[in-house]
Amino acid sequence: MLSFFFRQILLTIPTFIGVTLLAFVMIRIVPGDPVQIMSGDRGLSPEVYAERMAALGLDRPIWEQYTDYIVKMAQGDLGRSMYTKESVLSEFISRFPATLELAVAAIIFAVGVGLPAGMIAAVRRKSVTDYSVMTVALAGYSMPVFWWALILVLIFSMTLGWTPVSGRMGLIYFFQPITGFVLIDTLILGEYDAFWSALRHLALPAVALGTIPMAVIARMTRSAMLEVLQEDYVRTARAKGLSPFRVVAVHALRNALIPVVTVIGLQVSTLFSGAVLTETIFSWPGIGKWLIEALSRRDYPILQGALMLIATTTILVNLVMTLTYGIINPRIRHKR
């Protein structure tokens, strides 16, 4: 068991180094000069331009910049924003709860809708219900996030007026954050009107972000359930006279959940990348919107730091999943 744990942890090291190198180089080759963008339309003399490039360390060879970045990162220093001069880590920490809250709401929506839909489709195989669920799942998987988000805004915000268009909470509400999670903070402080406002603001971004994972989970649940429902122990359970609900919910679902849980874990990892578009469309003050703003200004420290922290989160989630599988299924521990 311990050798399996250490092997999996060691495998993450080259992955992490590869991600740092790729993120650093890709950001540098994106067209646009941060010093020119910072100066705006005023223009700079060659002397001032060279002085600012040197102050930012951008006049050195790229390998020197990368080495310096890795050394500082190993010391816990991810640099400071070129514009706000704030620490990258502190800005990330202040925005991460908003993204995490959105991601959790999205995965709750995806599992809450996708799992029952897949079960119903499997039980009613080749029926109108089955075809309807699979059609909706295919449509949900195929639609671009930004297009689906705009459709939701058009229907539920602009036409029906049920939900706000953007933001995280109504502007009339103000309180000192405790955990950074608005829903939790409003409940702790007893601000129930603010909680309802935050919930309404969260609804559309969560649905937009969770639609693709919902479609994937529904399709995987249907496939897993169809396979399990043909097993002998399920036939035996039916022959004993158990109710259809008990056969499906107790005997079949438990075994069908194993591949579904794998898919859910993978979808959690992809939610952070999908949040970039969703947060931009809904003006959600999280990591995705922060990244887009930094990209438009070529704020290299922010881009590098945010990408590294997101990649680290994804790697850690995958590591925890792999270790969990090793605990659940001993055969995985012995695979080379």
Spans of all domains in the chain: 95-332
Whole-number Å distance between alpha carbons of 96 and 331: 36
Question: Are the CB atoms for 298 and 37 separated by under 8 Å?
Answer: yes
Structure confidence at residue 196 (pLDDT): 92
- State both tokens at 77: 């220093």
Question: Are the CB atoms for 106 and 91 separated by under 8 Å?
Answer: no
Residues of the chain falling short of pLDDT 50: none
- Whole-prediction pTM: 0.80
Domain 95-332: assigned CATH number: 1.10.3720.10
Structure confidence at residue 62 (pLDDT): 82
Instruction: Write out pLDDT tens, residues 134-155.
Output: 999 888 888 888 889 999 999 9
Count of C-beta atoms within a 10 Å radius of residue 39: 14
Structure confidence at residue 55 (pLDDT): 80
Whole-number Å distance between alpha carbons of 56 and 100: 32
Structure confidence at residue 203 (pLDDT): 93
Structure confidence at residue 42 (pLDDT): 67
Structure confidence at residue 253 (pLDDT): 79
Whole-number Å distance between alpha carbons of 218 and 63: 46
